Amino acid sequence: MAEEPLGDVLDDSDGRRVGAGGKVTLALRIRRYNPDVREDSWWDEFTIDTEPDDRLLDALHQVKWYQDGTLALRRSCAHGICGSDAMMINGKNRLACKVLVKDVLPKATVEPIRGLPVLKDLIVDMEPFFAGYRSVLPYLINDEGEPDRERLQTPEERHRFDDTTKCILCAACTTACPIFWGDEEYVGPAAIVNAHRFIYDSRDDGADERLRILAERTGVFRCRTTFNCTEACPRGIEVTKAIQEVKRSILFERF
């Protein structure tokens, strides 16, 4: 049997590789804002050819790099860990690096996350979000002095707050919350999640202080249990469950 020429083998291999020759057309409708250009926002539309398994972040890069270099967006690791590229995609808070093009075809509408001041295009001012985060003392508090060895925990003690250690501070949960949209003083779901992470940590001594903070008008009882936050979380954290646990601790435990 005659051997197939090497060139034909390579061409055939290229044709079989994932996505080869299978490009699709994606229409992107992006809400734009630039205070140096005009006072109100506007919509721009772009059409690109891309691979169906590309991420929406790749599609936005293609727009910025080859069609309109003025498009502004945040992104860093592009692997769903840094949380920088949270935005509204087809009406839902998502990370652009975790959304595949094939899941939004033929058209995707992209907007900045709600409830925070828009600086430019898809970039928002995160300071109000981080102000709420800082207010709940999101760090280990222990005044017992430096121990001779590490502070040990049982697997059960660690499991008690395991879910809320997954937060990447993307603000997707908080900016999906209708209470946060209307009350800028509400600390928001992400702040409560990060308080939860330390309230139930057996090594921490600051639980009472955090519960007092969250018992105030701007704390957990502003939550109306709509579950928007849980649905929006790209890390799968049971945000509403964490909020309810903090509520129960305030109501039924001494602090």
Report the CATH number that the domain containing residue 132 is assigned in CATH. 1.10.1060.10
Is residue 150 assigned to a domain? Answer: no
Give the model's pLDDT for residue 13: 44
Does 6 reside within a domain? Answer: no
pLDDT of residue 16: 43
Considering the domain architecture, whether residues 108 and 132 belong to the same structural domain is answered as: no
Domain-located, residue 2 = no
Is the domain of 26 the same as that of 111? yes
Same domain, 120 and 220: no
- Long-range contacts of the stretch 122-130 (C-beta < 8 A, 24+): 122/30, 122/31, 122/71, 122/72, 122/73, 122/74, 122/87, 123/72, 123/73, 123/74, 124/175, 126/171, 128/184, 129/169, 129/171, 129/174, 129/175, 129/188, 129/190, 130/169
**pLDDT of 14 above 80:** no
Weakest mean pLDDT among 14-18, 100-104, 111-115, 130-134: 14-18
Query: Are 49 and 110 within one domain?
Result: yes
Q: Is residue 3 part of a domain?
A: no
Same domain, 219 and 114: no
Question: Do residues 137 and 242 both lie within one domain?
Answer: yes
For residue 171, name the pLDDT band (cuts at 50, 70, 90): very high
Q: What total number of domains does the chain contain?
A: 2
Check residue 45 and report its DSSP letter: E
Q: Are residues 215 and 238 located together in one domain of the fold?
A: yes
Measured between alpha carbons, how far is 93 from 88 in angstroms, rounded to an integer?
Answer: 4
Domain with 107 in it: 21-124
Of the pLDDT bands very low, low, confident and very high (cuts 50, 70, 90), residue 43 is very high
Judgement on whether residues 119 and 206 belong to the same structural domain of the protein: no
> Which helix or strand (DSSP H or E) is residue 251 part of?
helix 239-252
For the segment 208-224, what is each residue's pLDDT rounded down to a tens digit? 999 999 999 999 999 99
> What pLDDT does 209 receive?
97
Within a domain: 168:
yes
User: Is pTM, for the whole model, over 0.85?
Assistant: yes
Q: What percent of the chain has pLDDT over 70?
A: 91
CATH classification of the domain holding 50: 3.10.20.30
Instruction: Say yes or no: 90 and 134 in one domain.
Output: no
For residue 35, what are the contacts with CB-CB under 8 A and spacing of at least 6? 120
Lowest mean pLDDT among 9-13, 141-145, 193-197: 9-13
The verdict on 131 and 246 lying in the same domain is yes
